[in-house]
Amino acid sequence: KRKKEMTSKPEKRPKAEAKPSKVVEKPLGRGNEEEGMFQVGRTRFVRVSCFRGKVLVDIREFYTDTEGNLKPGKKGIALSLDQWNQLKEIIPEIDAAVEKF
């Protein structure tokens, strides 16, 4: 039988550097079609983007990093075009439910 030689713990691999994401560097107004982002609150935005060949409507909270760049946070949801169209169709029902409160 062969004995495994264990002189020391194997070195941990350094984490791969994250690829920089597309960052919006200027403040955004209510609608910024050029960037595909629309502000719906102080830190919330709706962003239209393409991921793996599919168009997504992303509703997400953003944060400002240490360099002052706006970056997407964890809280949010990305809707496919089908889901986005379903949501648009039921907006009147949602409005009616909101008015009850």
Neighbours of 32 (CB within 10 A): 16
Question: Is 24 among the domain residues?
Answer: no
Question: Is 16 among the domain residues?
Answer: no
In 16-88, beta strands by DSSP E: 37-39, 44-51, 54-64, 70-80
Task: Express each pLDDT in 75-87 by its tens digit.
Answer: 999 999 999 999 9
Task: Express each pLDDT in 15-59 by its tens digit.
Answer: 544 444 444 434 444 445 556 899 999 999 999 999 999 999 999
The pTM of the full predicted model, rounded to 2 decimals, is 0.60
Question: Is 85 among the domain residues?
Answer: yes
Neighbours of 36 (CB within 10 A): 16
Quick one: pLDDT at residue 21?
A: 41
Which tokens is 37 given? 């982002």
Mean pLDDT of 59-84: 94
Residue 78's domain comprises 37-99
CA distance 55 to 5: 52
Question: Is 26 among the domain residues?
Answer: no
CA distance 4 to 8: 12
- For residue 63, the domain's CATH number is 2.30.31.10
